[in-house]
């Protein structure tokens, strides 16, 4: 009689180990889609020290309560790539209510599909019940997008519901085994991004998957499998049916992936840029625009690579700046004074973006402050520079101004002046103001040794 804990995974694993040991047969992917390929620690090479102690705590607590529990999705993918995951998601056969009872700080969230957030201090882990495959009866919109689906199921059904093969693997910290249902290990080793199932149907169920394809391909430097890529250009308009808040969340992940510029270029390549950031395709075709955006995104990528924080307000202010500049010029040409024209231009751009991307009020406020400060950097005499230094968003506005200098939009001398003024003592600031108010011929002086003209905070200060 088998032990109570034995099941199909136990039996299948034992058979495979017998074959490998005694017959020398190389492991192959299981033909039965309901059974995974199971890889041990030596086969997959995951470093257990990269696994979050809280993730181990959650999986072990669920297992001790008699449930199945695995680290799943992107965390397993990153572990297989030798990268410490930023987030750990857990999949289990326990229902959300059963999960909630096991942890002191656990909260059930979500309408489209219920999940449980388990908190340990500031560390948040997402625990999801295995999803079933009965999508036919799930509520959908007129385009086929699934609106709500709380159907629970078995692990192999859950694996079938996941988006890409590389995100459909399950890791058990207790046994250090990886369960692979769809050849994810092979695709990781081949650096290929492949959707599970029929691409058109999967994109119709959730059009955001098209944005995720772009993000993963750019971030991981993987190629997109041809059948996975083929429908995207035709089906891209379906993204217009996705709630703006979801599109914003995905765009923010994309831009903060550490490969922001590569992601934008991939968006254009796949035909997904239209409507996400209106006129972005036009901006990227203008020499001044592409240089400015490239510098801003390179700065963001560098900060993320260094483990530093990034301000979403600064990032979106950079991406949309040349739309503001264009509208600013149009309002001035129509007779508006410069400052009111800038505010009107900012209103227009923010209104169009808020409708499409659901920009949060705080992010919109930060963007407006950064844009509104730019004309104030032109005023270098009297009390204006001192007042600007006291602005709570000065660092972000200053870094933004330096990006404008670096891109050639404005004279680099302005950035040099503000760098010296910001760093200087009271007497040197007085001299700088005297020089700024002097006639052009009298302003010529040798540059300060060691003067810099680059953002001290890499253009993405979080304040």
Rounded to whole angstroms, how far apart are CA atoms 396 and 32?
Answer: 56
Residue 33's SS3 state is coil
Using only C-alpha atoms, the chain has a radius of gyration, in whole angstroms, of 27
Out of 89, 180, 187, 399, pick the active-site residue.
89
List all residues 6 or more positions away from 330 whose beta carbon is below 8 Å from its beta carbon: 345
Angle in degrees, CA 30, 36, 40, rounded to 5:
105
Evaluate whether 448 touches 437 at the Cβ level (below 8 Å): no
Could you tell me which of 358, 323, 319 has the C-alpha nearest to residue 344? 323
Please report how the helices 244-255 and 208-220 are oriented relative to each other, as an axis angle in degrees rounded to 10: 0
Of 149, 158, 163, 301, the active-site residue reads 163
Q: Which residues contact 443 (CB under 8 A, 6 or more apart)?
A: 435, 436
Tokens of 423: 């760093």
Residue with tokens 């924080």: 309
Q: Are 291 and 407 in contact (CB under 8 A)?
A: yes
Nearest to 75 by CA among 217, 161, 171: 171
The residue to which tokens 């391909």 are assigned: 217
- Which listed residue (87, 249, 281, 423) is catalytic? 87
Please confirm, yes or no, whether 89 is among the known catalytic residues. Answer: yes
Query: Could you confirm whether 427 is annotated as catalytic?
Result: no
Rounded Cα distance between 358 and 352, Å, is 10
Question: Which residue from 371, 367, 376, 460 is spatially nearest to 418, judged by alpha carbons?
Answer: 376
Q: Write the DSSP symbol of residue 443.
A: G
Q: How far apart are CA 424 and CA 251, in angstroms?
A: 39
Beta bridge partners, 195, equal: 164
Nearest to 144 by CA among 90, 62, 202, 85: 202
227 belongs to the catalytic site: no
Active site residues: 87, 89, 163
């Amino acid at each position: 009689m088998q032990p109570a804990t034995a099941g199909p995974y136990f039996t299948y694993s034992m058979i495979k180990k017998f074959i490998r040991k005694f017959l020398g047969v190389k492991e192959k992917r299981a033909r039965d889609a309901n059974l995974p390929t199971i890889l041990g620690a030596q086969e997959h090479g995951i470093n257990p020290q990269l696994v979050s102690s809280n993730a181990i705590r959650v999986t072990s607590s669920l297992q001790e309560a008699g449930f199945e529990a695995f680290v799943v999705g992107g965390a397993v993918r990153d572990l297989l790539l030798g990268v410490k995951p930023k987030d750990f998601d857990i999949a289990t056969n326990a229902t959300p209510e059963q999960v909630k009872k096991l942890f002191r700080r656990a909260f059930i969230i979500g309408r489209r599909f219920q999940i449980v957030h388990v908190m340990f201090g500031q560390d948040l882990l997402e625990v999801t019940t295995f999803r079933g495959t009965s999508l036919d009866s799930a509520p959908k919109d007129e385009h086929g997008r699934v609106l709500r689906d709380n159907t629970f199921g078995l692990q192999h059904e859950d694996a079938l519901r996941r988006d890409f093969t590389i995100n459909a693997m399950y890791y058990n910290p207790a046994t250090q085994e990886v369960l692979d249902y769809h050849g994810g290990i092979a695709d990781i080793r081949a650096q290929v991004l492949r959707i599970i199932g029929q691409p058109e149907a999967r994109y119709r169920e959730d059009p955001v998957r098209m944005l995720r394809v772009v993000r993963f391909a750019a971030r991981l430097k993987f190629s997109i499998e041809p059948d996975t890529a083929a429908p995207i250009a035709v089906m891209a308009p379906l993204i217009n049916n996705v709630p703006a808040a979801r599109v914003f969340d995905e765009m923010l992940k994309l831009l903060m992936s550490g490969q922001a510029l590569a992601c934008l270029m991939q968006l254009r390549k796949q035909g997904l840029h239209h409507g996400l950031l209106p006129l972005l395709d036009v901006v990227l075709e203008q020499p001044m625009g592409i240089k400015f955006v490239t510098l801003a995104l390179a700065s963001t990528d560098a900060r993320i690579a260094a483990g530093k924080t990034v301000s979403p307000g600064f990032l979106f202010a950079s991406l949309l700046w040349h739309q503001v500049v264009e509208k600013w010029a149009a309002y001035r040409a129509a007779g508006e004074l410069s400052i009111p024209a800038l505010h009107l231009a900012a209103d227009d751009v923010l209104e169009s973006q808020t409708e499409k991307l659901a920009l949060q009020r705080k992010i919109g406020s930060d963007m407006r402050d950064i844009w509104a400060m730019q004309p104030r950097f032109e005023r270098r005499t009297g009390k204006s520079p001192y007042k600007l230094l006291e602005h709570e968003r000065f660092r972000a506005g200053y870094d933004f101004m330096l990006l404008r200098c670096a891109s050639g939009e404005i004279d680099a001398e302005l950035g040099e002046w503000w760098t010296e003024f910001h760093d200087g003592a009271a007497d040197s600031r007085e001299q700088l103001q005297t020089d700024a108010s002097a006639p052009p011929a009298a302003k010529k002086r040798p540059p300060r040794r060691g003067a810099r003209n680059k953002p001290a905070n890499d253009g993405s200060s979080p304040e």
